[in-house]
Structure 1
Amino acid sequence: MKTLYLDAFSGISGDMFIGALLDLGIDFEHFQAELTKLHVHGYQLEKRRLAKNSIYGTSFDVVLNHEKDRGFVESAAHHHDVRHLDDIRTLIASSDLSDKIKKQSIDVFTEIARAEAVVHQLPVEEVHFHEVGALDSIVDIVGSFIALDLLGVDEVRASELSDGSGFIQVAHGQMPVPVPAVMQMRVGTHIPIRQRTDIRTELITPTGMGLVKEMVAAFGPVPEHDLLLKTGYGFGKRETGTFNALRALLFETKKSGQTVRTDHDSVLLIEANLDDQSGESLAFAMDQLIEAGALDVFFTPIYMKKNRPSCKLSVLCIPEEREVFVDLLLKHTSTIGVRYQLMQRSIMKRCFKTIDTKFGAIRIKVARSGSVVRETAEYDDCAQAARRHRVSLSEVEREVQRQLILTENQ
C-alpha cells in the first residue's frame, strides 16, 4: 500500500498540497487533462519548480483571467460572481470526474460551508462567499483529489498542523488567526494544531483544513518502519519569515489488506515473557510491531516464577523478517531474550474490493475457501468515515451491509 504523509510544519492550503504532489512526480499535463473534466473555464494553471532556503520544491497557482474576490460575503446584492453551496455541488456533480472524486470534493465544500454558516449565524443555503466558491478554490479542491488519485495513494496521514497567530485582513475586516472557519472545523475533532506565535499570519486556510478533515486518517510522527519512496515540497505564497512549505512523504506501507492467493503458508512465531513492564509501554511496543508489518501481535496473561502476574507477547511475521522483529522486541520491551518457531498454517484466500456508500468509499475484505465466502468491511475505513461524517460506527457498518446486499441482488 502507498501511504502519503503530510509534514505540515508550516500549515496547509490547497495550492501547497497540489504543489507537493506535483513535486512527488505527478505528470502535469495528465493533471491538467483530468481537470478539464470539470468543464469550467477562465483560468490557467501555473507550475514552477524553484528553490527556497536552498531547498527545491514546486509552486502551484491557479491564475484567473479576471481579478478574483476574496472573503466571506453576507449579501450578494452587489456581486454577480458569488456562489452558493448548491451551485458548487451542481457544477461538480455534472462533471466527467469519477464518482469518488466528485463525492470527496463536494464533502470538502459542504464542510467549509457549514463552518462559515456557524461563524456568521446564517443557514447554509444563505451563505454567499467568494473565497471558497471562487474558481481558484474550486480548482484547488477538485485538483487535490485528482492529484491524490493520480499518485495512487491508499491512505493519508499527517503530523500535527501548525498555524500562525495575530490577525489577517480580508474583504470585510480583520480576522483572528486561526481564522474562524478553520477553528469551527476543528470543533468535535481531535485534529492537533500547534499555534506558532513567531509567525503573524495565517498558515492553515479553510480549504487546507477541509482537505485535512476529508483525507487524513491519522495524526502522528513520521512512520518509522515504512519504506520511504519519495519526498516533495509544495511552496506557500505567504512570506512568513520562515520556510513556508508543505512536505509530502510517499511511503510503501506494509499493512493487513494484502491479497492472498494461497490457502497455506509458513509463519514465524516469536514470543517473550514479560513481568516488569508497564501497560503503556507494552501498548507502545505493540504499535511499533504492527507498524513494522507484523502479521499479528497479541498478549496472553500468564503467571511466572514467584507467582508474578505477567504477560506473554506473541508476534507472527513472515520467516524472512525474523531479525527485524527480534530487534524490535529487544528494543521496545524489557526482555533479554526471545524464542521463536516456524509454524505452518491453513488460510482462506482473500482479496479486496471497494464499494461506494453515502459515507464514501469503503474497502471490503473478501475471504474464500471452497464454497465459503465472507465479506467484511475494513474497520479503519469505517472508523474514518464515522469521524468525518460525525455518525456512529454502527451506522456506517449498517450502510456497508445494505450496499453489499444490494450488490448481491443485482
Structure 2
Amino acid sequence: MKTLYLDAFSGISGDMFLGTMLDLGLDFNKLESELRKLKIDGYKLSCKQNDKSSIYGTNFDVQVNGGKDKGFIEHKHNHSHHNARHLNDILKLIDNSSLKESVKNNSKNIFTEIAKAESTVHHMSLTDVHFHEVGAVDSIIDIVGCCIALDLMDIDNIISSPLSDGSGFIQVAHGQMPVPVPAVAQMRVGTDIPIKQRLDIKTELVTPTGMGIVKTLVNEFGPLPEQIKPLKIGYGFGKRDTGGFNALRGILFEKKKLSQKVIKDTKDKITLIEANLDDQTGEGLGYVMQKLMNAGAYDVFFTPIQMKKDRPATKITVLGNISDQLLLIKIILKETSTIGVRYQHWHRVVMQRRFEKVTTDYGEIKIKIATYGNVEKKIPEYIDCAQIAHRKNISFINVYQSAIIAAQHLN
C-alpha cells in the first residue's frame, strides 16, 4: 500500500500537484501518452527541474496555443464564447476517452465538485455554467493528469496537512476576487477541510482545481504519518510570487501488509468495523473489499443476514489497525449503501513473525516463520511461488512443495 502525504504549507494547485508527482518519480512520457487518450490538442507539456531557495523540485506547465483563458464566464451574460465548455461537455470528453475507469471517475468527480461550487457562487444551474479558467485546456490537463498520476504510481491513499491560503484580493477577468476565492470557499462548506489563512501573503495559494483535488481525493487531514516507512520526498513549484518558498511537498510512504511485516510483539489491539448492507450488488461488494484491502485492512469478509421486514442482506466485517480506522470507515461509507457503521477495539494474540529465504530447484523463495512459545510454522510466501510458476510455466503446487521441503532445513 502506498500513501501520499501532501504537505500544503504554500497551498495547492493542479500544476503544483503534478510537479510534485513528477518529482516523486512519475514517468513524464507515460503521463503524456495517457493524456493523449483525451483526444484534445492545442497544448504542449513542459517539465523542468530547478531550484528555489536552494531546494530542487519540479516545475510542470501546460502551454496552450493562444495563451491561457482566465476568468469564469457566465452563459447568461455572454453568448460570444463558443469555445467555452459546460460541465457536460467536459464529462463527455472524459467518458469518450480510453482512460481507465478509475481515472475517468476521479476526474469527473473533481470537475463536478468545482461546477457545483461555481454554480452556487454565481446563482445559476449547472447547465448554465461556462468553465474558462477551470474548463480551459490547461485545467482539463491538470485535473485529468493528476488522476492519471495517482494511477500510474499506484497511490492507494492520500493524507494532507491543513491547507494554507493567502489573503487580500486577486484580479480576474471580471474584477477583484477575495482570497480564498469564492469557489474555494464554497467547496469548503459542509466539510472538515482545514484551511489556515496566511495574512502575510496577499495572493491566492489554493486554486479551485487544487481544492477540487483535495475535496475529492484526500481521505484524511493531519500530521505526518508516524509509523509507516517514507520512500521519497518531492517538490512541485507554484507559479505565483508569494515572497516565500512556493511549493507543494509530497512524501511517499509505503505501508506493508500485515502478512509482510516482521512481528515481535505477540499481543496487540485491532479495530473491528461492521455494517449491514442491503441493495448492494455482488460486484459492489467485491469492489469495496478490494478498496479496503488496498487501504491496509487486515481482512474483509461478508456474512449473509436477515434484516427487518425479512429483507436478505449482507454484513460486512473489516479487521484493521486502529490508526487506519477513520480511512476504513470512510471507504465503507463512500463505496456501499450503508449510512452508518459500528466499531469496537479487540485485544488479540498473534505469533511472532520473521522471514528468511531458501534456495530451491526453481529459484529463491521467501519463507515466513511464525512462532509462539514452542509452536513454529514455516510457510512459503505465495507471491514468490506464484511468480516463479508463472515465469517458468510450471505447476504452482510443485514450486510450493519444493519451498516447504527446503524450509525444513532452516533453523
Q: Measured at CA, do residues 53 and 65 of structure 1 come closer, stay the same or move farther in structure 2, by a change above 3 Å?
A: same
Shift of 1:40: 1.1
Shift of 1:241: 0.2
**Residue 280 of structure 1 corresponds to which residue in structure 2?**
none
**Residue 390 of structure 2 corresponds to which residue in structure 1?**
none
CA-based RMSD of the aligned residues comes to: 3.1
Q: Measured at CA, do residues 267 and 97 of structure 1 come closer, stay the same or move farther in structure 2, by a change above 3 Å?
A: same
- Distance in 2 between residues matched to 1:96 and 1:125, nearest whole Å: 25
Q: Measured at CA, do residues 387 and 44 of structure 1 come closer, stay the same or move farther in structure 2, by a change above 3 Å?
A: farther
Kept in 1, the 8 Å contact 2:301–2:318? The answer is no
Q: Measured at CA, do residues 366 and 377 of structure 1 come closer, stay the same or move farther in structure 2, by a change above 3 Å?
A: closer
**Residue 122 of structure 1 corresponds to which residue in structure 2?**
124
Superposition TM-score, scaled by structure 2 size: 0.68
Shift of 1:269: 3.7
Shift of 1:86: 0.3
What secondary structure does 2:219 align onto? strand
**Residue 394 of structure 1 corresponds to which residue in structure 2?**
338
What secondary structure does 1:92 align onto? helix
- Distance in 2 between residues matched to 1:362 and 1:155, nearest whole Å: 10
**Residue 57 of structure 1 corresponds to which residue in structure 2?**
57
The counterpart of 1:175, out of the listed 162, 174, 177, is 177
Kept in 1, the 8 Å contact 2:220–2:327? The answer is no
What secondary structure does 1:268 align onto? coil
1:13-162 pair list within 5 angstroms: 13-75=13-75, 76-162=78-164
Which deviates more from structure 2 when the two are superposed, residues 134-143 or residues 24-33?
A: 24-33
Shift of 1:65: 1.4
Kept in 2, the 8 Å contact 1:385–1:396? The answer is no
What secondary structure does 2:108 align onto? helix
* AA aligned opposite 1:78: S
Shift of 1:295: 6.0
**Residue 238 of structure 1 corresponds to which residue in structure 2?**
240
Shift of 1:223: 1.2
What secondary structure does 1:136 align onto? helix
Q: Measured at CA, do residues 383 and 81 of structure 1 come closer, stay the same or move farther in structure 2, by a change above 3 Å?
A: farther
Instruction: Count matched residues.
Output: 307
What secondary structure does 2:250 align onto? strand
Q: Measured at CA, do residues 354 and 48 of structure 1 come closer, stay the same or move farther in structure 2, by a change above 3 Å?
A: farther
Kept in 2, the 8 Å contact 1:86–1:125? The answer is yes
Shift of 1:383: 4.0
- Distance in 1 between residues matched to 2:330 and 2:231, nearest whole Å: 25
The counterpart of 2:265, out of the listed 263, 268, 282, is 268
Superposition TM-score, scaled by structure 1 size: 0.68
Kept in 2, the 8 Å contact 1:167–1:200? The answer is yes
Shift of 1:396: 8.6
Shift of 1:377: 6.5
Q: Measured at CA, do residues 78 and 387 of structure 1 come closer, stay the same or move farther in structure 2, by a change above 3 Å?
A: farther
Q: Measured at CA, do residues 383 and 83 of structure 1 come closer, stay the same or move farther in structure 2, by a change above 3 Å?
A: farther
* AA aligned opposite 2:195: I
Q: Measured at CA, do residues 380 and 78 of structure 1 come closer, stay the same or move farther in structure 2, by a change above 3 Å?
A: same
* AA aligned opposite 1:65: N
- Distance in 1 between residues matched to 2:48 and 2:122, nearest whole Å: 37
- Distance in 2 between residues matched to 1:121 and 1:388, nearest whole Å: 28
Q: Measured at CA, do residues 229 and 266 of structure 1 come closer, stay the same or move farther in structure 2, by a change above 3 Å?
A: closer
Shift of 1:94: 0.5
**Residue 343 of structure 1 corresponds to which residue in structure 2?**
none
**Residue 384 of structure 1 corresponds to which residue in structure 2?**
330
**Residue 292 of structure 2 corresponds to which residue in structure 1?**
363
Q: Measured at CA, do residues 53 and 355 of structure 1 come closer, stay the same or move farther in structure 2, by a change above 3 Å?
A: farther
**Residue 225 of structure 1 corresponds to which residue in structure 2?**
227
Kept in 2, the 8 Å contact 1:35–1:143? The answer is yes
What secondary structure does 1:242 align onto? coil
**Residue 210 of structure 1 corresponds to which residue in structure 2?**
212
- Distance in 2 between residues matched to 1:194 and 1:83, nearest whole Å: 32
Q: Measured at CA, do residues 361 and 192 of structure 1 come closer, stay the same or move farther in structure 2, by a change above 3 Å?
A: farther
- Distance in 1 between residues matched to 2:7 and 2:23, nearest whole Å: 14
- Distance in 2 between residues matched to 1:214 and 1:377, nearest whole Å: 24
**Residue 187 of structure 2 corresponds to which residue in structure 1?**
185
Kept in 2, the 8 Å contact 1:52–1:243? The answer is yes
* AA aligned opposite 1:234: G
- Distance in 2 between residues matched to 1:95 and 1:363, nearest whole Å: 28
* AA aligned opposite 1:119: V
**Residue 270 of structure 2 corresponds to which residue in structure 1?**
296
